[in-house]
Amino acid sequence: MSYDPVTLSRILTGLTLFVHIVFASLGVGVPLMIALAEWRGIQTQDPHYSLLARRWARGFVISVAVGVVTGTSIGLQLSLLWPTFMRVAGHAIALPLFMETFAFFIEAIFLGIYLYTWDRFKRPMLHLLLLIPVAIGSSASAFFITTLNAFMNTPQGFTLKNGVFTDVHPLIAMFNPATPTKVSHVLASSYTVSACLLAGIAAYSLLMGRKEAYFKKALKLTVMSAFIFALSTAIIGDFSGKFLAKYQPEKLAAAEWHFETRREAPLVFGGVLDENNKVKYGLEIPYALSILAGNKPDTKVIGLNEFPEDERPPLFIHYMFDLKVTIGILLVLIPFLYMVRRLLPGNRHGGYPKWLLLGILLLGPLAVVAIELGWLFAEFGRQPWIVRGYMKVGEAATTSNNVGSMLLLFALLYIVLCGSCVIVLARLFRSKDVVDEMRELGIEGGTVK
Amino acid sequence: MSYELVGITVLWTFLFGYLIVASVDFGAGFFSYYSVITGHENKVHSIIQRYLSPVWEVTNVFLIFFVVGLVGFFPDSAYYYGTALLIPGSLVTVLLALRGAYYAYNTYGSSKEDNKIYMAIYGATGLLIPAALSTILAISEGGIITEVNNKVHLNWGSFFSNPYTWSVIILALVSVLYISAMFLTYYADKAGDRAAFEVLRGYALWWSGPTILACVFAFFQINRQNPEHFSNMLGIAWVFILSLICYLVAVYLVWKRRNLGWTFILVMLQFGFAWYGYGHSHLPYILYKQVSIHESFTNETMAVALITVFIAGLFVLIPSLIILLRLFLFDAKYVRGSSPKKG
């Protein structure tokens, strides 16, 4: 691998997105969780839930700040690192980019209002309503920006004439075949990762021996949400598999190391490839790939050999896919065990066994890893194309010779940002204990009921 | 009006919006830090924080909006500016990132009030970012970005040796401080905070002199850099004269401590006239002789779609901004600081 501007641009873009994706997902998911808690608080007149919403919101601002600034980075880097891509594809993709900034505007405005109007309205419901534009704004941003990514995977709505996109239909470009599955998968996984991280925090407090009802309520709300979101993410993931089989068969084939086109195709889990592209040590599940691709054991699945070698995605995406799916199963399974804990041997009283709490604590990091793997898989799976079938990555990058030093600069920036973000968040929650805050606000809740 | 003219007007207007709100923000960051190190802290600091906290994120969006809109309407500008501005663009991004993050850390995350390091980062970036961003105006006059054998270069030598580059940097620095001080004077007056008002009024008057000098200096440097642009500007000289009149009236009112609401409107008009006059005479070029609004315009379908979305977006955006302003700028109780600060 040579370190030319193209490779370096890829690394820098990848790095920025790697950091941004986590914070962006929280930006989409956490407002929903906050709204859920505040709504429960108003519905049940239980101040614990309102306090939960307040404490989440306080931490959320910190993560939003990092999300906003890394989002600004990627927004500018699109033009700085991929000027040719923007010059050519800009003719077809400007609309969702532009709409995304509007959604971002709405989110930014109402988040500012929400944070500064606790106790300012006579009716608490009015304050909760402010979260609706925040949640809509962040989900809409995710929607628009994902349609753009979907376009790069299944471009349509234009004709390429002498290197220029002509006869453009912006809406057809936006609503391309990849849009439905991609958008819903992105949204569902953002909700999942947010619920999982918040569940992890609640589990951590319980593991540390806290006994207050507050933490148990937090755990219940977050784990139940995590279950619902993770399950929907998994179901949508299955649709995505069927989408790939139909529209991007080379991505699915590379993910599954499926070389020969055939019916009754087996699914390979794990394993290694030898020099003749034969799978060794893999776990083979008969018919599973055909079922994944078309719900029937005799569905014909297109193999990688149908594609010229220089248009095949890298084969290491197989591991990303496997790992992501495995984590996805865990994300459904652990919350499920929480729900049926009363049925577990030796746990009639519905207590929280230590192993279960540890599992819930792990949900957060696992979900973050799954999100990263999912995106890495989606992006590497599109190689060597930047706009599949039209423009290769190598043709789109900047020609500048300074990408290397910028890569170092940004790597340093992200290390500093993420490090300080974690420190600030940790300090924020330690400096004001829940029980102290409940006492301050006059909420009862130092003891177990 | 042709689509491309609508497009560039929309973008120019948003850049003007950014100029005003970001100037207030950048200058406020600097004054906030300055007040802490000079001991005026208790007088002006809280009033600055009260304004900035709910709006900092919105300010950022104005810039993104402009950049995205520019490459959307005029994809060629992404090619020329994008390739040539990799280093300065990245540096600005890093500064913006540090500023945004540390502002949030200081306001929401810090256990003790006003972490000195966070505030220093905040104050310093408040001056560095406008300086760096303003250089793009110098670059847009042409001669600095060159294209040889289909490769775009930024000519650093002529960039730094160019007096016009330095004149816009100076102009950016002083006008940020001037606009910000003028706004905060008005805000302090509204809050009924006499002590803060007197300090901020001092800043505003102090920075008004350098601002007008820098304006005149930059004005004549354009002549050396780009005579064609300069003669276009002379053709609409009345706009710049109006700008000067607004400036004089604004400074006079602050001096007399009168009609401070009008003062800030006059400051906006002063910069507005200069801004649109400058922009109008720059046309049809976005980058002199390389990117013109006519040749590098996006296809017509996309232009219609973008303008439609823009109009639809305004229906949501303007009411939202009005709510924000009413809650935090025109709400006497909040401005005086008697309603709760944050969750």
Tell me the DSSP string of B211-246.
HHHHHHHHHHHHHHH-HHHHHHHHHTHHHHHHHHHH
Has residue B94 been placed in a domain? Answer: yes
Mean pLDDT of B303-328: 80
Distance CA A224, CA A340 (A): 12
Closest residue in chain A to residue B338, using alpha carbons only: A120
- The domain segmentation of chain A, as residue ranges, is 5-261+302-448
If we measure between CA atoms, which residue out of B26, B36, B31 comes closest to residue B132? B26
**Joined tokens for residue A393:** 């990555």
Any chain A CB within 8 A of the CB of B141? no
B59, B83, B149: which to substitute to probe chain A, counting the most A Cβ within 10 Å? Answer: B83
CA angle B96, B100, B101 (to 5 degrees): 115
Task: Reply yes or no on whether the pLDDT at A268 is more than 70.
Answer: yes
Any chain A CB within 8 A of the CB of B318? no
User: How many separate domains does chain B show?
Assistant: 1
Tell how far CA B135 is from the center of its chain: 13
pLDDT of residue A446: 42
User: Which is higher by pLDDT, A272 or A76?
Assistant: A76
Contact list in B for residue A119 (CB cut-off 8 A) is 340
B109 contacts A424? CB cut-off 8 A: yes
Contact list in B for residue A406 (CB cut-off 8 A) is 86-87, 90
pLDDT of residue A212: 77
If we measure between CA atoms, which residue out of B264, B329, B280, B317 comes closest to residue B62? B317
**Joined tokens for residue A429:** 């929650």
Distance CA B289, CA B146 (A): 11
Any chain A CB within 8 A of the CB of B156? no
pTM of the predicted protein model:
0.86
pLDDT of residue B111: 54
**Joined tokens for residue A386:** 């930047």
Calculate Rg over the CA atoms of chain A: 24
Which of A62, A98, A118 is closest, CB to CB, to B72?
A98
**Joined tokens for residue A368:** 């973050």
Q: Of A100-114, A147-161, B8-22, B107-121, which range is least confident?
A: B107-121
Q: Of A75-89, A274-288, A332-346, B304-318, which range is least confident?
A: A274-288
pLDDT of residue A449: 37
Mean pLDDT of A338-354: 77
Structural domain of residue B205, as residue ranges?
A: 3-336
Q: Is the dihedral of CA A98, A99, A102, A104 positive or negative?
A: negative
For residue A123, the 8-state DSSP code is S
pLDDT of residue B110: 60
A435 vs chain B: nearest CA distance in angstroms?
A: 16
Q: Return the bridge partners of B292, or none.
A: B285
Has residue B195 been placed in a domain? Answer: yes
Any chain A CB within 8 A of the CB of B327? yes
A69, A99, A132, A399: which to substitute to probe chain B, counting the most B Cβ within 10 Å? Answer: A69
Has residue B343 been placed in a domain? Answer: no
A184 falls in which pLDDT band (50, 70, 90)?
A: very high
Which of A69, A104, A115 is closest, CB to CB, to B61?
A104
User: B214 with B174: CB under 8 angstroms?
Assistant: yes
Distance CA B336, CA B197 (A): 13
pLDDT of residue B236: 82
What integer best gives the mean pLDDT of chain A?
84
A109 contacts B324? CB cut-off 8 A: yes
Distance CA A44, CA A389 (A): 55
Any chain A CB within 8 A of the CB of B98? yes
Instruction: Determine the residue type at A281.
Output: Y
Task: Reply yes or no on whether the pLDDT at B115 is more than 70.
Answer: no
Q: Torsions phi, psi of B140, nearest 5? A: -65, -15
B332 falls in which pLDDT band (50, 70, 90)?
A: low
User: Which is higher by pLDDT, A285 or A362?
Assistant: A362
What integer best gives the mean pLDDT of chain B?
79
Count of A–B CB contacts within 8 Å? 232
Mind giving me the DSSP string for B81-103?
A: HHHHTHHHHHHHHHHHHHHHHHH
If we measure between CA atoms, which residue out of A336, A323, A335 comes closest to residue A195? A335
For residue A262, the 8-state DSSP code is B
pLDDT tens digits for B170-193? 888 888 888 888 888 888 877 777
Q: Return the bridge partners of B291, or none.
A: B287
CA distances from B281 to A78, B233, B285 (A): 30, 5, 9
A445 falls in which pLDDT band (50, 70, 90)?
A: low
Distance CA A228, CA A329 (A): 13
- Residue appearing with tokens 């922009």: B279
pLDDT tens digits for B69-93? 888 888 888 888 878 788 888 888 8
Contact list in B for residue A109 (CB cut-off 8 A) is 58, 320-321, 323-324
Mean pLDDT of A355-379: 90
A62 vs chain B: nearest CA distance in angstroms?
A: 6
Within 8 A by CB and 6+ apart from A379, the residues are: A14, A17
Any chain A CB within 8 A of the CB of B329? no
User: Which is higher by pLDDT, A344 or B51?
Assistant: A344
Which of B93, B104, B328 is closest, CB to CB, to A61?
B104
A253 falls in which pLDDT band (50, 70, 90)?
A: confident
Distance CA A313, CA B296 (A): 34
Distance CA A347, CA A340 (A): 10
pLDDT tens digits for B35-59? 777 776 666 777 777 666 667 777 7
Distance CA B51, CA B336 (A): 11
Any chain A CB within 8 A of the CB of B117? no
pLDDT of residue A83: 85
End-to-end CA distance of chain A: 63
CA angle B12, B16, B17 (to 5 degrees): 120
Contact list in A for residue B104 (CB cut-off 8 A) is 61-62, 64-65
Mean pLDDT of B103-122: 70
User: A212 with A434: CB under 8 angstroms?
Assistant: yes
If we measure between CA atoms, which residue out of B85, B87, B49 comes closest to residue B67? B85
A65 contacts B96? CB cut-off 8 A: no
Tell how far CA A336 is from the center of its chain: 21
Distance CA B342, CA A58 (A): 9
Has residue B341 been placed in a domain? Answer: no
Distance CA A409, CA A137 (A): 31
pLDDT of residue A341: 81
A97 contacts B67? CB cut-off 8 A: no
pLDDT of residue A448: 37
| Longest pairwise C-alpha distance within chain A | 74
